[in-house]
Amino acid sequence: IGNQYKNSFKRELVFEEEGVYPTGFGIPEECIMPINFDKKNKLFQSTYPKYSFFENPNDLGTKNHHIFNNENEYYKDLSESWFGLCSIRGGWDSLRLYEIIAAGSVLLFRDFHNKPINCSPQNLPAITYSTKDELYKIMTDLVKDDVPTEAYKFILEAQRNWLENNGTTSARAKKILNTIFPESLF
């Protein structure tokens, strides 16, 4: 869909077009949790999208994957997981991937390498995988005997930096304002 106004912002931008700029979701800064490796007790979150783990996604269009009664339980589950699995569903961008990183888990995104470059999220240092064997190899290489490797810590820090600089509500707002008013310093 092209732009309807002088400046349009699209989350699922596939083709470059004059006056249309990429944007994406944002998560409030107060949702970013401290990281506590001692509380991690599972490989990945309970609410993973079925497609991300090579299962039949029979819950599309339903809320069957909503297994928690409140948001705090959901974030606790994410924060206790070493990894957060994600995959394309309605689009490449989803609040889930921001929540995974904000909870202090490393984001693993199935087939992320297929995402169009202008589709949100842009420049996210996500780890991509395409097979279950590849997924398990990534996880076992990054966490050994429930201890994060230096590579795990490096990736987690890179993803958290990306989130703070690009994926918060404030960062998204600043980028939009700087696009509309390039002479200003927001």
pLDDT at residue 19 tops 90: no
pLDDT for the residue 20: 79
Cβ atoms 67, 45 nearer than 8 A: no
Residue 168 in this model has a pLDDT that exceeds 70: yes
Give the model's pLDDT for residue 36.
95
Tokens of 147: 């201890």
- CA neighbours closer than 13 Å in the CB half-sphere of residue 69: 0
Of 17 and 13, more confident: 17
pLDDT-derived band at 185 (thresholds 50, 70, 90) equals: low
Cα-flanking dihedrals φ and ψ of residue 110, to 5°? -65, 125
Residue 138's pLDDT is 98
Per-chain mean pLDDT for the chain? 89
Contact (CB, 8 A) for 13 and 20: yes
pLDDT at 5: 64
Beta bridge partners of 147: 144
- Predicted confidence (pLDDT) per residue in 108-148, tens digit: 999 999 998 878 898 999 999 999 999 999 999 999 999 99
Inter-helix orientation angle 132-142/150-166, to 10°: 100
Whether 142 contacts 43, CB under 8 Å: no
Task: Compute CA distances 107 → 10, 58, 74, 113, 182, whole Å.
Answer: 23, 23, 16, 14, 32
Percent with pLDDT over 70 in the chain: 90
Helix 71-79 vs helix 95-102: crossing angle, to nearest 10: 60
Determine the Cα–Cα distance for residues 102 and 78; give it in Å rounded to an integer.
9
- Could you report the per-residue pLDDT of 26-73, keeping only the tens digit for each? 999 999 999 999 999 999 999 999 999 999 877 666 666 678 889 999
**Proportion of the chain in helix, strand, coil states, percent, rounded to 5:** 40, 15, 45
Between 106 and 118, where is the model more confident? Answer: 106
Whether 96 shows a pLDDT value over 90: the answer reads yes
**DSSP, res 80:** T
Lowest-pLDDT range of 10-19, 20-29, 166-175 = 10-19
Q: How far apart are CA 22 and CA 16, in angstroms?
A: 9
Residue with tokens 């201890």, as numbered in its chain: 147
Angle subtended by helix axes 95-102 and 150-166, to nearest 10:
120
